């Protein structure tokens, strides 16, 4: 990279981190949301 | 017509539709990113002035474009939510903010990484950089305002207003390199005459720009699905969905 390797690869690295985070995070939140809501629903049903 | 729009924008319908689209969006994004990276890092020639350092452009410029594009999308969605009270529009506006903030941060960091070897400084307080930093704060403001108000519908309205006021900043960012003397270079691609960039650099740049656009839709749909579940957790369709999920 003609002496600029550090600058170029840090740029591409930061891009990878930010882009991946914005995919992985909502996917995880989705999973957790389904879990919590299911639990809540089950608890509500037991109370009936 | 309005009936059709309301049907399409109804949370259960959109939740399912977005779920069906997700595999396509992820596939197209990854293909375009692979092509763009190959084009930018291998196919595109070395710059005669900046050497290899210019390759940051393939991240920096599309990210900066996205930071503006997503802000406008967020403001429009917010306005639609304000006027027609469409829940999906409110959700799209709110869910756009973190993605836009990500791209703005990316544009700023990669700009820094490019500025250091080319200008000799990580940061300068020039018009382009300062207005882009303000954009980051606008995104963060939208995110924190939304999370500070417990009633989601009230929060959506507040956020839409903030987003609309902040739109003033968008033309300032875009024209900053023309209105003021800045260290940041002027436009090379979005000029009306022929772009002053080698076509072998322009193609990967455009591919990356399209890749980021599709990525935005992908990331947005993921977030909208979570937000819809949370907002609609007491409705029948979510309960049915949970039952199906369990069984």
Q: What pLDDT does B143 receive?
A: 97
A10 within a domain of the structure (yes/no): no
The count of domains in chain A is 1
Residue B247 has pLDDT above 60, yes or no: no
Q: What pLDDT does B221 receive?
A: 98
Q: What pLDDT does A11 receive?
A: 95
In the numeric block, which tokens belong to residue B115? 């500025």
What value does the mean pLDDT take over residues B36-40? 95
Of A8, A19, A33, the CB nearest to B230: A33
Q: What is the mean pLDDT of chain B?
A: 92
**Cβ contact, residue pair B56, A19, below 8 Å:** no
Which position has the token pair 């995880």? A28
Q: What pLDDT does B64 receive?
A: 97
Binning pLDDT at 50, 70 and 90, where does residue B166 land? very high
A8 within a domain of the structure (yes/no): no
Of A8, A19, A34, the CB nearest to B55: A8
ipTM: 0.93
Binning pLDDT at 50, 70 and 90, where does residue B68 land? very high
Sign (positive or negative) of CA dihedral B8, B11, B13, B18: positive
- Of B127, B120, B97, B123, nearest to B110 by C-alpha is B123
Cα–Cα distance list, B14 to B54, B167, B195 (Å): 41, 27, 39
Give contacts of B115 with chain A, Cβ < 8 Å: none
Residue B243 has pLDDT above 60, yes or no: yes
A46 within a domain of the structure (yes/no): yes
Q: What pLDDT does A46 receive?
A: 87
Residue B177 near residue B186, CB atoms below 8 Å: yes
A35 within a domain of the structure (yes/no): yes
Domain residue extents for chain B: 16-46+54-182+198-246
- Residue numbers of the domain that contains A33: 20-48
**Cβ contact, residue pair A3, B99, below 8 Å:** no
CA distance A45 to chain B (A): 11
Question: What DSSP letter does each residue of B50-106 carry, written as one string?
Answer: TBGGGGGHHHHHHHHHHHHHHHHHHHHHHHHHHHH--HHHHHHHHHHHHHHHHHHHH
A42 within a domain of the structure (yes/no): yes
A3 within a domain of the structure (yes/no): no
Dihedral pair phi/psi, residue B78, rounded to 5°: -60, -40
Question: What DSSP letter does each residue of B135-173 carry, written as one string?
Answer: HHHHHHHHHHHHHH-SSHHHHHHHHHHHHHHHTTHHHHH
What is the percent of chain B where pLDDT is above 70? 97
What value does the mean pLDDT take over residues B137-142? 98
What value does the mean pLDDT take over residues B112-120? 92
A11 within a domain of the structure (yes/no): no
A43 touching B, CB under 8 A? no
What value does the mean pLDDT take over residues B83-111? 96
Distance CA B81, CA B166 (A): 17
CA distance B55 to chain A (A): 7
**Cβ contact, residue pair B117, A7, below 8 Å:** yes
Distance CA B153, CA B146 (A): 10
**Cβ contact, residue pair B56, A41, below 8 Å:** no
A40 within a domain of the structure (yes/no): yes
In the numeric block, which tokens belong to residue B50? 């900046």
| pLDDT, tens digit, 9 for 90 and up, residues B182-228 | 889 887 776 656 667 888 999 999 999 999 999 999 999 999 999 99
What is the percent of chain B where pLDDT is above 90? 77
Give contacts of B223 with chain A, Cβ < 8 Å: 26
Q: What pLDDT does B5 receive?
A: 78
Size of interface A-B (CB pairs under 8 A): 85
Helix (H, G, I), strand (E, B) or coil at B126: coil
Q: What pLDDT does B218 receive?
A: 98
**Cβ contact, residue pair B114, A29, below 8 Å:** no
CA distance A37 to chain B (A): 7
């Amino acid at each position: 990279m003609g002496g600029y390797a550090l600058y170029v690869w840090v740029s591409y690295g930061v891009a990878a981190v930010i882009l991946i985070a914005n995919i992985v995070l909502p996917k995880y939140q989705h999973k957790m949301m389904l879990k919590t809501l299911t639990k809540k629903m089950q608890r509500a049903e037991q109370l009936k | 017509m309005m009936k059709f729009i309301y049907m399409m924008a109804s949370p259960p319908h959109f939740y399912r539709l977005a779920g069906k689209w997700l595999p396509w969006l992820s596939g197209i994004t990854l293909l375009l990113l692979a092509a763009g990276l190959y084009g930018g890092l291998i196919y595109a020639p070395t710059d005669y002035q900046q050497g290899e350092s210019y390759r940051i452009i393939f991240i920096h410029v599309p990210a900066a474009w996205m930071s503006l594009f997503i802000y406008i999308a967020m403001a429009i969605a917010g306005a639609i939510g304000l006027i027609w009270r469409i829940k999906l529009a409110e959700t799209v506006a709110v869910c756009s903010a973190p993605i836009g903030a990500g791209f703005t941060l990316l544009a700023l960091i990669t700009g820094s990484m490019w500025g250091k070897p080319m200008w000799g400084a990580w940061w300068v307080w020039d018009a382009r950089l300062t207005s882009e930093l303000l954009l980051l704060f606008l995104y963060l403001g939208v995110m924190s305002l939304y999370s500070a108000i417990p009633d989601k519908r009230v929060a959506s309205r507040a956020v839409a207003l903030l987003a609309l006021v902040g739109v003033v900043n968008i033309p300032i960012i875009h024209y900053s390199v023309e209105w003021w003397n800045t260290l940041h270079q002027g436009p090379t691609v979005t000029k009306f005459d022929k772009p002053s960039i080698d076509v072998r650099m322009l193609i990967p740049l455009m591919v990356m720009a399209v890749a980021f656009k599709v990525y935005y839709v992908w990331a947005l749909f993921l977030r909208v699905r979570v937000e819809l579940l949370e907002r609609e957790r007491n409705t029948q369709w979510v309960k049915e969905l949970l039952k199906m999920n369990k069984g």
